[in-house]
Chains A and B, each alone.
Chain A
Amino acid sequence: MHVQWLRCTHFRNYDTLEILFHPRMNLFLGNNAQGKTNILEALYCLSTTRSFRMVSEDELIQFDQTAMRLEAQLMDDHGSERVALEFKKGFGKTLYFEEKKQKRLSLILGKIPMVIFSPDDLYLVKGGPGLRRKYLDAVLWQRDLSYLADLQQYERVLKQRNALLKKKETFLEKEWQVWNRTLSQAGSRVIQRRQEVVQHLERIAEHALSELTGNQEQLTLRYLASISWNGSIDQTQQLFLEKLTQAQKEERMRQITLVGPHRDDVELILNGKSIKHFGSQGQQRTVALALKLAQLTLLGEQRSHPLVLFDDVMAELDEQRQAFFLAHLQKQGQTFLTGTSKQDFKKFLGDARVFKVDAGRVALENEGSNKN
């Protein structure tokens, strides 16, 4: 699958923008704050209906405007399809396939699989457990949409249960049983899926890491679950219920659900040591890269190659790793890179279509090879 063209209307700093992409490699060069990342964000937004930035969604709409529209032509072996996402302030988002309004936004999910590499990936290793859960969840739902339904169901029950914990009235034992059961049922499925994918990722990430460093590395991903998976949904659910009973007193005091996959984490261990606590910044960065590469590989195994978005990452890599990525990306799907200087992309320039991004204007600088 690749994106033939993208059209943005009143999106961020773009009044109107039309870009014809190269099916393989696209490079966006320009100084900071000119709108390079916005192009990647537009693609991401079409893929997931959300922004990857932690801001109010209204900011997706150009200043002074009340609505924005993103439109793209997708192309795969079966043919082409036009998708569009509209977002109106105060009215929300609408999805269109071939100009036809769709009933649910979620219909776009999985159509444009993608993996983003950004400098923030470092926090995948350094940051809090929430980011690692999010990473696992993204890997899982992009592979299999039924996981998203499981996760959303779990989050809904969690909300209901927390609301119940905040109620001041006396606790009705029978009512508790109901929500504990629903929570443990949905939660056990989430735990199962995460547990499986962690094992899968470990193997691939370890391989990617060894390739990146040129050394034999030993990487362990350990899923730290408040309820450990023990082979079957029923048994895990039983354990879940027991833990909930144990936590009952504290939960009622703190008025929040303390047990379940929403509190889990993934411990990253490099050659026997926790990377979060003992790794150098360089090691942490490399492991983060390996995790993202593993995501890319895992998605590619199952579906057509996902899009690869590289936001300002190349400049941080030394020449050896740049070479590695160039070789690696040749085997991947359509790629989009941003950067400030041509110097950082010497190895890429020959094959890529190069765009110059300057104050909200995108100009074609180099056509790029048509080898592929």
Chain B
Amino acid sequence: MSEYPASFERLIFELEKLPGIGPRSAIRLAFYILKKPVEFSTSLAQALVEAKSKIHPCRNCFNLSEGALCTICQSSRRDTSLLLVVEDPSDIVAFERTHEYQGLYHVLGGVLSPLEGKGPQDLTLNALVQRLQNNSQWKEVIVATNPTVEGDSTAFYIQQQLKPFPVKVTRIARGLPSGGDVDYADESTLLKSLEGRQTL
């Protein structure tokens, strides 16, 4: 006994599976889609299918990619002695926006978290070790996992794994955001920024 026609119900049902979308938002989105001209739905549906069929993890770094290698790994202008390890592809976008980092990346696909059933075998850690084995050009591996209990633990795991290699393994600093106010920073951030202070 549904209140809406079957096809409409199905649309709501599918939309509701998306993260952050509850029943009410799903209904609102479904009505929006219905009101729009048919081109909108066709285009949306095509975009969904196309993205899903075309995008694969990069063979090298597991970044999102349409080819075997992502655009960063393909580029000849990158510094191939630097490797920055991140949790997710979206972190790459964040670092790229700085226009400062010129090295390569490695996407872990998450962090160690037994609560979510994630162990080392669920991350791309073996591939990371493989990348260091295959090439001796690496000088430094920068671990840029989030400053959480899980991110720190994963960073330590990586450090242990990379011990046999002659590379410098570093961890990104934590501290105050720029443009921020010392007044408003929470205690643990302030503490960390004190620990990581630098000579002027």
Interface residue from B112, B152, B188 paired with A175 (Cβ < 8 Å): B112
Which residues of B from 4 to 55 have beta carbons under 8 Å from A? Answer: none
A156-B191 Cα distance, complex, nearest whole Å: 19
In the complex, number of A-B residue pairs with CB atoms less than 8 Å apart: 58
Say whether, besides A146-B191, A174-B120, A175-B120, A164 and B160 are in contact (CB < 8 Å).
Answer: no
Interchain CB contact (< 8 A) of B152 among A163, A174, A182: A182
Residues of B within 8 A of A181 (CB): 153, 156
B-facing residues in A166-216 (Cβ within 8 Å): 167, 169, 172, 174-175, 177-179, 181-182, 186
Q: In the complex, what residues of A have CB within 8 A of residue B186's CB?
A: 104, 106, 145, 149
**Given A146-B191, A153-B149, A172-B119, are A182 and B156 neighbors across the interface (CB < 8 Å)?**
yes
Contacts of A156 in B (CB 8 A): 149
Query: Within A131-150, which residues are at the interface with B (CB < 8 Å)?
Result: 144-146, 148-149
- Bound-state Cα–Cα, A182 to B145, Å: 15
B150 within 8 A of A: yes
Q: Which of B112-128 contact A (CB under 8 A)?
A: 112-115, 117, 119-120
B49 to chain A, nearest CB (A): 35
Residue from B112, B154, B157, B187 having most chain A Cβ neighbours under 10 A? B187
Q: Of B119, B149, B188, which contacts A157 at CB under 8 A?
A: B149
What is the bound-complex CA distance between A367 and B191, given in angstroms? 46
**Cβ–Cβ contact B160 & A167, under 8 A:** no
Cβ B114 vs Cβ A164 within 8 A? yes
Cβ contact of A178, chosen from B117, B156, B187, B188, cutoff 8 A: B156
Chain A, residues 15-39, CB within 8 Å of chain B (1/0): the string is 0000000000000000000000000
A185 to B70, CA, bound (A): 38
Residues of B within 8 A of A160 (CB): 113-115, 149-150, 153
Beta-carbon contact of A149 and B153 below 8 Å: no
Does A159 belong to the interface (CB within 8 Å)? yes
| A106-B186, A146-B191 known; A163-B157 Cβ under 8 A | no
When distances are taken between beta carbons in the complex, the residues of chain B under 8 Å from A104 are 186
Residues of B near A163 (CB, < 8 A) are 114-115
Number of interface residues of B (CB under 8 A): 20
The chain B residue with its CB closest to the CB of A147 is: B187
A305 at the interface (CB under 8 A from B): no
Chain A residues with CB under 8 Å of B112's CB are 175, 178
Residue from the list A144, A159, A172, A182 in contact with B153, Cβ < 8 A: A182
Question: Would you call A161 an interface residue if the criterion is a C-beta within 8 Å of the partner chain's C-beta atoms?
Answer: yes
A186 to B117, CA, bound (A): 22
B148-171 interface with A by 8 A CB criterion: 149-150, 152-154, 156-157, 160-161
Residue interface bits B92-121, CB-to-A below 8 A is 1, else 0: 000000000000000000001111010110
Closest-by-CB residue of A relative to B119 is A175
| B23 CB → nearest A CB, Å | 13
Residue of A149, A153, A160, A167 most packed against chain B (CB within 10 A): A160
Q: How distant is the Cα of A324 from the Cα of B15 in the complex, in angstroms?
A: 66
User: In the complex the two chains form, what is the Cα distance from A160 to B152 in whole Å?
Assistant: 13
Q: Which residue of B lies closest to A107 (CB)?
A: B186
Measured CB to CB, the nearest residue on chain B to A179 is B153
A159 and B115 CA atoms in complex are apart in Å by: 7
Q: Taking CB as reference atom, which chain A residue is nearest B155?
A: A178
Enumerate B169-200 residues with CB–CB distance to A below 8 Å: 186-188, 191
Query: Taking CB as reference atom, which chain B residue is nearest A141?
Result: B187
Contacts A157-B149, A182-B149; A174 near B188 (Cβ below 8 A) = no
Contacts of B119 in A (CB 8 A): 167, 169, 172, 175
Q: Are A167 and B188 in contact (CB under 8 A)?
A: no
- Other A-B pairs beyond A148-B187, A160-B113, A178-B154, 17, CB < 8 Å: A146-B191, A157-B149, A157-B153, A159-B115, A160-B114, A160-B115, A160-B150, A163-B114, A174-B120, A174-B160, A175-B120, A175-B157, A177-B160, A178-B153, A179-B114, A179-B153, A186-B149
Instruction: Sample 11 A-B pairs with CB under 8 A, ordered by A number.
Output: A144-B187, A145-B187, A146-B188, A149-B186, A156-B149, A160-B114, A160-B115, A160-B150, A163-B114, A175-B157, A181-B153
